[in-house]
């Protein structure tokens, strides 16, 4: 498998706080990579750095054979690396349809837009087809998360970075979301941040553990669960 | 782009043009009313440009009148000193003003909301000072008087009377048609996305800074055309015509009518532009009324007069389906907009 995404030696400091400390992460094409760690361990900073929201102090990021270090967010998105946000982000005052059409603008420009059938299939899969005229802000959180996902898939991403995709969902919804994410693997590669081990164990092929900005483990979920340092510093605590 | 321009020729817009022309003809008997209408038409043009910035993109540009002033002084200078035709001078001055506007605005394009408004306030202040300071170009506080009206090319006569009124009417209508086309284009969608959530807009591949710069340029074109027409219509240009209060009153027309709705600014301009003329004897009172209106609109009707009306009408099911197809604006449900 080829490397889809390579982050080397990422460092970021916020004043006295080292948010990222020499972090190396490699994701292969088609692989589902998980990232776990307690609150404040630098997971979201990592995604922000990769997608260009956050300027790095040092380090390089390659995506699909291209150096995207320091590239602005809209260009990263155009390059095929989509992301979602920890607190769901949609155009709350616009209709679901307008949200989706706005997300399609980029591919419209590239004349590479999704075919009508592809769109119908996507919206049917995410069970949004009956909600198109609703104001996006009036949707349930679960629907909003699905809308967020649909908007990203309208851009034909190669890799999608999900920041806590089941955060705030009810137990039944979590199960439904897990199924959606498992099916999503057939559409693009997934990088997923979570701080519940259960979700990661079910989804990810490989897991990176981040604690206070430092990568302390990297491997298949089964091994991570047995890793002594991870147990001591993370799993053994109340966070997981 | 042609597709979007063609979409501008809708029945509603043609109706609007017919109504405006009829109005201009009806009031042409009374020079005072005709003049008020002419100024109202320029205000509609300005409000349409301000609506692109404030309504669709969420940028409150308080330097709007200043940019109009650059174009006005530019046009007047080229016509009166260099002997150019208005129709050559105006485009040159407008483009110049728009370029200056973008250059001055560049540092503030990364800012949003309140901070953008604040930085545009500074730009307006600097421009106002410039108009007073560069006496050689602007004749300072005294202003430039006896500005000739636009010539009718190849005829040797100038626009005057009803002809000039109709020219302004047409210019106002053209600005609305352009706004309509932009609102219904992908560019308009990007602007709305930027207004609603810049971070999300970037995450779905929209170049926020580039689009802000573009809309700033386009908005400055509106400001500039209005400035050139204003100076030649009134026949007089002074720094007071293009000061902060002018920017604010254009903003107020947009907010009063309904930000981000197509017709809102038109309604706002129609109601507010004649107010100063009605209160000519009470100059201080005018400013008090403007101040009170700004507060009243922000507190009581964040969606504006037309926007609030639209929100009620949208609740009627029969019209709902029709209106839901009209996009560009936001559903004005009275929720407060932070811009």
Q: Which residues 6+ apart lie within 8 Å of B25 measured at CB?
A: B162
Residue B38, pLDDT score: 92
Residue B319, pLDDT score: 58
Q: Where are the domains of chain A?
A: 90-156
Q: What is d(CA A220, CA A201) in angstroms, rounded to the nearest whole number? A: 9
- As beta bridge partners, residue A159 has A81, A189
| Complete DSSP assignment for B76-88 | HHHHHTT---HHH
8 A C-beta contact, residue B185 and residue A39: no
Residues of B in contact with A137 (CB under 8 A): none
Instruction: For residue B212, name the pLDDT band (cuts at 50, 70, 90).
Output: very high
**Maximum Cα–Cα distance across chain A:** 52
B334's tokens: 């009275």
8 A C-beta contact, residue A31 and residue A158: no
Residue B293, pLDDT score: 80
Residue B306, pLDDT score: 84
Chain A residues contacting B via beta carbons under 8 Å: 51, 53, 72-75, 77-78, 82-83, 85, 89-95, 98, 101-103, 105-106, 108-109, 133, 135, 151-152, 155
Cα distances (angstroms) measured from residue B29 to each of A232, B25, B36, B62, B328? 90, 8, 13, 36, 39
B94's tokens: 């407008």
Question: Helix, strand, or coil here: A219?
Answer: strand
8 A C-beta contact, residue A181 and residue A149: no
Helix H or strand E encompassing A187: none
Cα distances (angstroms) measured from residue A165 to each of A40, A175, B81, B273? 17, 12, 66, 51
Q: What is d(CA B181, CA B187) in angstroms, rounded to the nearest whole number? A: 10
Of A219-223, B8-12, B76-80, B123-127, the range with the lowest mean pLDDT is: B8-12
Q: pLDDT digits over B172-199, tens only?
A: 999 999 999 999 999 999 999 999 999 9
Q: B75 or B18, which is more confident? A: B75
Give the residue from chain A lying closest to B198, CA to CA. Answer: A91
Give the residue from chain B lying closest to A91, CA to CA. Answer: B196
Q: Cβ contact (<8 Å) for A105 and B199? A: no
Q: What is d(CA B216, CA B211) in angstroms, rounded to the nearest whole number? A: 8
Q: What's the residue count for chain A?
A: 240
Q: What is d(CA B259, CA B252) in angstroms, rounded to the nearest whole number? A: 10
Give the residue from chain B lying closest to A47, CA to CA. Answer: B203
For B180, half-sphere exposure in the C-beta direction (CA atoms, 13 angstrom radius) is 21
Instruction: For residue B309, name the pLDDT band (cuts at 50, 70, 90).
Output: confident
Cα distances (angstroms) measured from residue A213 to each of A13, A138, A193? 10, 37, 14
Question: Helix, strand, or coil here: A83?
Answer: strand
Residues of B in contact with A72 (CB under 8 A): 202, 207
Residues of B in contact with A103 (CB under 8 A): 204
Q: What is d(CA B66, CA B72) in angstroms, rounded to the nearest whole number? A: 10
Q: Where are the domains of chain B?
A: 2-243
Q: Cβ contact (<8 Å) for A82 and B203? A: yes
Instruction: For residue B258, name the pLDDT band (cuts at 50, 70, 90).
Output: confident
Q: What is d(CA B42, CA B276) in angstroms, rounded to the nearest whole number? A: 14
Give the residue from chain A lying closest to B336, CA to CA. Answer: A93
Which site among A91, A96, A153 would you substitute to test the B interface, given the most B Cβ atoms closer than 10 Å to its Cβ? A91
Residues of B in contact with A89 (CB under 8 A): 197, 199-200, 203
DSSP conformational letter for A205 = S
Q: Cβ contact (<8 Å) for A94 and B205? A: no
Burial class for B24, CB neighbours closer than 10 Å (0-12, 13-18, 19+): buried
Q: Cβ contact (<8 Å) for A53 and B189? A: no
Share of chain B above pLDDT 90, in %: 52
Residue B320, pLDDT score: 57
pLDDT of B77 over the 90 cut: yes
- As beta bridge partners, residue A3 has A28
Q: What is d(CA B151, CA B36) in angstroms, rounded to the nearest whole number? A: 22
Q: What is d(CA B61, CA B124) in angstroms, rounded to the nearest whole number? A: 9
Q: Which of A17, A176, A7, A14 is nearest to A76 (CA)?
A: A7
Long-range CB contacts for residues A119-125, cutoff 8 Å, separation at least 24: A119/A154, A122/A150, A122/A153, A122/A154, A123/A150, A125/A180, A125/A183
Q: At what angle do helices B86-105 and B208-234 cross, to 10 degrees?
A: 140
Q: How far is CA A166 from the centre of its chain?
A: 11
Q: B110 or A131, which is more confident? A: A131
Cα distances (angstroms) measured from residue B84 to each of A25, A32, B70, B221? 65, 68, 17, 20
Q: Which residues 6+ apart lie within 8 Å of A140 measured at CB?
A: none
pLDDT of B57 over the 90 cut: yes
Residues of A in contact with B200 (CB under 8 A): 85, 89-91
Q: Cβ contact (<8 Å) for B324 and A78? A: no
Q: Which of A218, A148, A157 is nearest to A185 (CA)?
A: A157
Q: Which of B237, B250, B264, B269 is nearest to B132 (CA)?
A: B237
Q: What is d(CA B298, CA A197) in angstroms, rounded to the nearest whole number? A: 48
Q: Which residues 6+ apart lie within 8 Å of B236 measured at CB?
A: B143, B144, B145, B146, B147
pLDDT of B150 over the 60 cut: yes
pLDDT beneath 50, residues of chain A: none
Mean pLDDT of chain B, nearest integer: 86
DSSP conformational letter for A233 = I
Residue B30, pLDDT score: 84
8 A C-beta contact, residue B223 and residue B90: no
């Amino acid at each position: 498998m080829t490397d889809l995404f390579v982050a080397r030696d990422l460092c970021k400091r916020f004043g006295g706080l080292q948010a990222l400390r020499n972090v190396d992460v490699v994701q292969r094409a088609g692989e589902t990579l998980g990232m776990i760690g307690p609150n404040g361990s630098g997971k979201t900073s990592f995604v922000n750095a990769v997608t260009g929201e956050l300027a790095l102090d040092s380090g390089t990021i390659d995506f699909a054979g291209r150096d995207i270090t320091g590239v602005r967010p809209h260009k990263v998105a155009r390059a095929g690396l989509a992301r979602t946000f920890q607190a769901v982000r949609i155009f709350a005052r616009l209709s679901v349809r307008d949200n989706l059409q706005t997300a399609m603008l980029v591919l419209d420009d590239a004349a590479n837009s999704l075919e009508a059938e592809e769109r119908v299939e996507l919206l049917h899969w995410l069970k949004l087809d009956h909600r198109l005229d609703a104001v996006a802000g009036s949707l349930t959180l679960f629907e909003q998360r699905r809308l967020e996902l649909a908007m990203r898939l309208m851009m034909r991403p190669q890799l999608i970075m999900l920041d806590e995709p089941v955060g705030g969902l009810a137990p039944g919804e979590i199960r439904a979301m897990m199924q959606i994410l498992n099916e999503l693997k057939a559409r693009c590669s997934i990088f997923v941040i979570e701080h519940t081990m259960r979700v990661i164990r079910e989804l990810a092929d490989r897991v990176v553990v981040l604690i206070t900005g430092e990568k302390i483990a990297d491997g298949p979920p089964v091994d991570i669960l047995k890793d002594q340092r991870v147990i001591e510093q993370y799993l053994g605590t109340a966070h997981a | 782009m042609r597709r979007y321009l063609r979409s501008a020729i809708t029945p509603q817009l043609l109706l609007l043009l017919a109504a405006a022309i009829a109005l201009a003809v009806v009031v042409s008997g009374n020079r005072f009313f005709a003049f008020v209408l002419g100024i109202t038409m320029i205000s509609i043009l300005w409000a349409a440009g301000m609506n692109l910035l404030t309504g669709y993109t969420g940028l409150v540009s308080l330097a709007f009148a200043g940019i109009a002033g650059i174009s006005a002084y530019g046009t007047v200078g080229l016509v009166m000193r260099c002997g150019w035709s208005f129709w050559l001078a105006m485009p040159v001055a407008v483009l110049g003003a728009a370029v200056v506007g973008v250059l001055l605005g560049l540092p503030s394009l990364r800012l949003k909301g309140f901070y953008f408004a604040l930085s545009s306030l500074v730009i307006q202040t600097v421009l106002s000072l410039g108009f007073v300071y560069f006496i050689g170009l602007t004749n300072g506080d005294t202003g430039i008087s006896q500005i000739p009206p636009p010539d009718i090319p190849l005829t040797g006569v100038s626009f005057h009377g009803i002809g000039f009124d109709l020219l302004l009417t047409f210019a106002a209508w053209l600005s609305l048609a352009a706004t309509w086309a932009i609102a219904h284009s992908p560019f308009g969608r990007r602007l709305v996305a930027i207004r609603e959530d810049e971070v999300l807009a970037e995450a779905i591949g929209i170049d926020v800074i580039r689009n802000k710069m573009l809309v700033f340029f386009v908005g400055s074109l509106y400001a500039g055309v209005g400035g050139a027409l204003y100076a030649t219509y009134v026949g007089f240009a002074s720094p007071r015509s293009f000061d902060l209060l002018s920017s604010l009153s254009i903003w107020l027309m947009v907010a009063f009518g309904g930000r981000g709705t197509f017709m809102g600014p038109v309604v706002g301009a129609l109601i507010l532009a004649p107010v100063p003329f009605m209160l000519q004897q009470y100059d201080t009172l005018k400013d008090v009324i403007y101040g009170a209106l700004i507060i009243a609109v922000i507190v009581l009707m964040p969606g504006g007069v037309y926007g609030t009306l639209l929100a009620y009408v949208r609740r009627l099911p029969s019209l709902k389906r029709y209106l839901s197809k009209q996009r560009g604006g936001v559903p004005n449900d009275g929720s407060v907009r932070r811009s």
